[in-house]
Amino acid sequence: MTTTGAPFKVLVVDDSNTIRRSAEIFLKQGGHEVVLADDGFDALAKINDYHPQLIFCDILMPKLDGYQTVAIIKRNARFANTPVVMLSSKDGVFDKARGRMVGCQDYLTKPFDLQELMARLRAIIRRASGGASPTLAHGGVVLDPAAKRVTHKGEPVSLSAREYALLYDMLRHKNEIRSRAQLEDSLYAWGEETGSNTVEVYVHHLRKKFGSAFIQTIRGLGYQLGEEGKEP
């Protein structure tokens, strides 16, 4: 019987054994499944094996800090919607703002007690239970993150992993200009090196599938989705 409804699979990332074990005890008391990682690299290895539904991640860690770890996790389309709560002994505005920038949903100051930890977990579960991951749509293209399915004008479209990652990034930032560096980051998450023209290659692929006007080149700045309703 859980104290927060259905059990969650939670990844706790912290280089402090005391913090990891305390979080594990608290979460298991709530009926949740817990996976522990002692640094960022360990977390990146385990997230692919265990697919957690929630991540608690320390900020100050050796080798790979929490900001870097979360940024890498969020670049992968499979985990972009996985909620992250940052853990830190600091409670500064800068730390919280930087955590938001890399994609964390909440912030918990150490040391924490059972009530504080479970309150954060309940808040995450409430948001998650509000419905399935919303679909992303633009210009007749619909991407369903939960099903990893893409359709164009109602017809299914087959995409490679990198085509999917680039499309996902563009749709998540549909009103923004995305620089080449930002798009390279979304592609780099798939584990292969990116060449000097990698972004251009996959932009070309998506234009062939969805029309030349689907993605616009903004000279000197990057790329942006074309105007809604504008046919190629």
Report the alpha-carbon distance of residue 12 to residue 57 in Å, rounded: 6
As a whole number of Å, the CA-based R_g of the chain is: 19
Return the residue matching tokens 């998450």: 189
The reply to whether the predicted model has a pTM over 0.75 is no
Average pLDDT over residues 131-149: 79
**At residue 19, does pLDDT exceed 90?**
yes
Q: Residue 207: enclosing H or E segment and its boundaries? A: helix 198-210
Rounded CA-CA distance 146/190 in Å is 18
Whether the CA torsion 106, 112, 116, 117 is positive or negative: it is positive
Strand partners, 142: 137, 151
Nearest of 185, 178, 168 to residue 218 by alpha carbon = 178
What's the average model confidence in pLDDT over 29-56? 93
43 touches 69 (CB < 8 A): yes
Q: What percent of the chain has pLDDT over 90?
A: 47
Is the pLDDT at 149 greater than 90? The verdict is no
Distance, in Å, from the CA atom of 8 to the CA atom of 163, rounded to the nearest integer, reads 31
Residue 155: both structure tokens together: 């017809």
Report the alpha-carbon distance of residue 26 to residue 196 in Å, rounded. Answer: 48
Other CB atoms within 10 A of residue 66 CB: 29
Q: What mean pLDDT, rounded, does the chain reach? A: 85
The structural domains of the chain, with segments of one domain joined by +, span 9-128, 136-225
User: What is the C-alpha separation between 137 and 133, in angstroms, rounded?
Assistant: 13
Per CATH, 9-128 and 136-225 having the same topology is answered no
pLDDT at 91: 65
DSSP code of residue 82? S
pLDDT higher than 70, residue 2: no
Give the pLDDT band of residue 4 (cuts 50, 70, 90): low
Residue 92 has pLDDT above 70, yes or no: no
Q: What is the pLDDT of residue 129?
A: 60
pLDDT at 167 over 90: yes
Write down the pLDDT at residue 34. 96
User: Are 99 and 86 within 8 A, CB to CB?
Assistant: yes
Match domain 136-225 to its CATH number in 1.10.10.10, 1.20.120.450, 1.10.3720.10, 1.20.120.330.
Answer: 1.10.10.10
Contact 183, 159 (CB under 8 A): no
Q: What is the pLDDT of residue 88?
A: 85
Rounded Cα–Cα distance for residues 186 and 190 (Å) = 8
Amino acid 1: pLDDT: 41
Question: What average pLDDT does range 117-132 have in this prediction?
Answer: 72
pLDDT surpassing 50 at residue 191: no
Average of per-residue pLDDT across 111-120 = 84
Q: Please name the CATH architecture into which domain 9-128 falls.
A: 3-Layer(aba) Sandwich (3.40)
pLDDT beyond 90 at 125: no
pLDDT at 112: 83
Burial of 59 (0-12, 13-18, 19+ CB in 10 A): buried
